[in-house]
C-alpha cells in the first residue's frame, strides 16, 4: 500500500465514529471534544505516513465474522504496528541528537526555526500518542477488542518517551540559549531540561523571556508522564498476600467476622 492509498484508508476509517464515542458526546460534550481533539491530533504526526493507526486496524474487523479469525488478524497487525512504532521512536531520537550536533556548529536563523517547529511537532506527537493509548483507546474500541501488545512494553515506551522529552526540550532550549540565564555550553540545555522536567530547579539556571512558558509546558507534561509511568508500574506489581488476610477484605461478605 503506497502512502496515498494508506492516507485514503486512514481517513475512511476515521470518519466512522464508534458507538461508544457517540454516547460520550451525548453525556459529556466536553470529554467528547477532547477525545476528538486527541484523535485527530494523530493525523498531524509523521507516523501517519508509515504506521497504520489502531482505528485502521480495527476497521477491518467489521468484515470478519469468525472470532478466531478476528483475534488472529488483530494480533498479527498489532505486532506489525509495534515493530514500526519502536523503529519510529528510535529514528526520532537519532534525529534529535543529529539536530543537537548541528546546532553546536551552525546557528543560522532558518535552522533555528526548522528545529523549533520540528521539536514542537514531536512534543505534540508524544503527548497525543500516550494519551490516546492510555486514556481513550479502550473507549473507542469497546465494541471490538482493545488489544495492546504488552503492558510491560507500554511501560518501557513510556519511560523512553519521558527521557526523549528531556532531549526534545533540550534541543528547543538550544535554539534560544540567550533565554536560559546561566547557559555557557549547549549541553547546559540538557541539564536545564532535565532539572525542569524533574521539577527540581536548583536555581543555577533559570528561564527568561519565552523560555519561561516553554519550561512551564515541560513541567506540566513531565508531571503527567510521571503519573502515567507510576500507574503503569503499579499495574505490573504482583498481587500481595498477607498473613492477617487484610488484603482480602474486599472479598468478605457483610457480617463476616473480622
Burial group, residue 178, by CB count within 10 angstroms (0-12, 13-18, 19+)? exposed
Domain 3-236, CATH among 1.10.287.70, 3.30.460.20, 3.20.20.70, 3.40.50.150: 1.10.287.70
Interval 95-143: pLDDT, tens: 999 999 998 888 888 999 999 999 999 999 999 998 888 888 888 876 6
Residues 6+ apart with CB under 8 A from 194: 166, 170
Lowest mean pLDDT among 182-191, 195-204, 217-226, 245-254: 245-254
Band of pLDDT at residue 70, cut at 50, 70 and 90? confident
d(CA 24, CA 26): 5
Band of pLDDT at residue 77, cut at 50, 70 and 90? confident
Of all residues in the chain, the percent with pLDDT exceeding 70 is: 90
pLDDT: which is higher, 221 or 146: 221
Band of pLDDT at residue 63, cut at 50, 70 and 90? confident
- State the pLDDT at residue 6: 87
Yes or no: say if 165 and 126 are a contact pair by the CB < 8 Å rule. yes
Interval 191-218: pLDDT, tens: 999 999 998 888 889 999 999 999 999 9
d(CA 98, CA 113): 16
3-state secondary structure 201-213: CCCCCEECCCHHH
Look at residue 257 and tell me whether its pLDDT is greater than 50.
no
Element (H, E) at 60: none
Interval 158-180: pLDDT, tens: 889 999 999 999 999 999 999 99
Mean pLDDT score, 34-61? 89
Yes or no: say if 193 and 164 are a contact pair by the CB < 8 Å rule. no
- State the pLDDT at residue 248: 59
CB under 8 Å, gap of 24 or more: what pairs does 230-234 form? 232/134, 232/151, 232/154, 232/155, 232/158, 233/155
Strand-pairing partners, residue 180, are: 207
Domain boundaries, the chain: 3-236
CB under 8 Å, gap of 24 or more: what pairs does 182-187 form? 182/206, 186/100, 186/103, 186/104
Mean pLDDT score, 57-71? 78
Convert 209-223 to b/e letters by CB count within 10 Å (16 or more is b).
eebeebbeebeebbe
Interval 228-237: pLDDT, tens: 878 777 777 7
Yes or no: say if 133 and 53 are a contact pair by the CB < 8 Å rule. no
Q: For CA atoms 96, 97, 100, 102, give the dihedral sign.
A: negative
Average pLDDT over the chain reads 85
Band of pLDDT at residue 46, cut at 50, 70 and 90? very high
Amino acid at each position: 500500500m503506497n502512502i496515498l492509498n494508506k492516507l485514503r484508508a486512514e481517513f475512511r476509517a476515521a470518519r466512522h465514529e464508534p458507538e461508544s464515542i457517540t454516547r460520550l458526546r451525548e453525556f459529556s460534550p466536553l470529554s467528547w471534544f477532547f477525545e476528538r481533539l486527541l484523535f485527530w491530533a494523530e493525523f498531524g504526526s509523521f507516523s501517519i505516513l508509515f504506521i497504520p493507526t489502531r482505528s485502521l486496524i480495527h476497521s477491518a474487523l467489521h468484515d470478519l465474522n469468525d472470532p478466531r479469525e478476528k483475534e488472529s488478524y488483530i494480533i498479527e497487525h498489532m505486532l506489525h504496528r509495534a515493530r514500526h512504532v519502536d523503529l519510529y521512536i528510535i529514528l526520532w531520537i537519532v534525529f534529535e541528537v543529529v539536530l543537537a550536533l548541528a546546532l553546536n556548529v551552525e546557528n543560522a536563523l532558518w535552522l533555528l526555526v526548522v528545529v523549533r517547529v520540528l521539536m514542537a511537532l514531536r512534543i505534540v506527537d508524544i503527548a497525543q500518542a500516550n494519551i490516546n493509548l492510555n486514556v481513550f483507546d479502550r473507549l473507542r474500541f469497546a465494541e471490538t477488542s482493545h488489544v495492546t501488545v504488552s503492558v510491560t512494553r507500554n511501560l518501557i515506551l513510556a519511560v523512553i518517551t519521558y527521557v526523549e522529552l528531556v532531549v526534545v526540550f533540550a534541543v528547543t532550549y538550544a535554539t534560544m540559549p540567550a533565554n536560559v540565564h546561566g547557559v555557557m555550553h549547549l549541553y547546559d540545555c540538557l541539564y536545564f531540561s532535565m532539572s525542569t522536567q524533574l521539577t527540581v530547579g536548583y536555581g543555577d539556571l533559570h528561564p527568561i523571556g519565552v523560555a519561561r512558558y516553554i519550561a512551564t509546558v515541560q513541567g506540566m507534561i513531565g508531571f503527567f508522564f510521571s503519573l502515567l509511568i507510576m500507574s503503569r508500574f503499579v499495574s505490573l506489581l504482583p498481587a500481595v498476600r498477607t498473613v492477617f488476610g487484610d488484603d482480602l477484605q474486599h472479598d468478605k461478605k457483610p457480617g463476616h467476622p473480622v
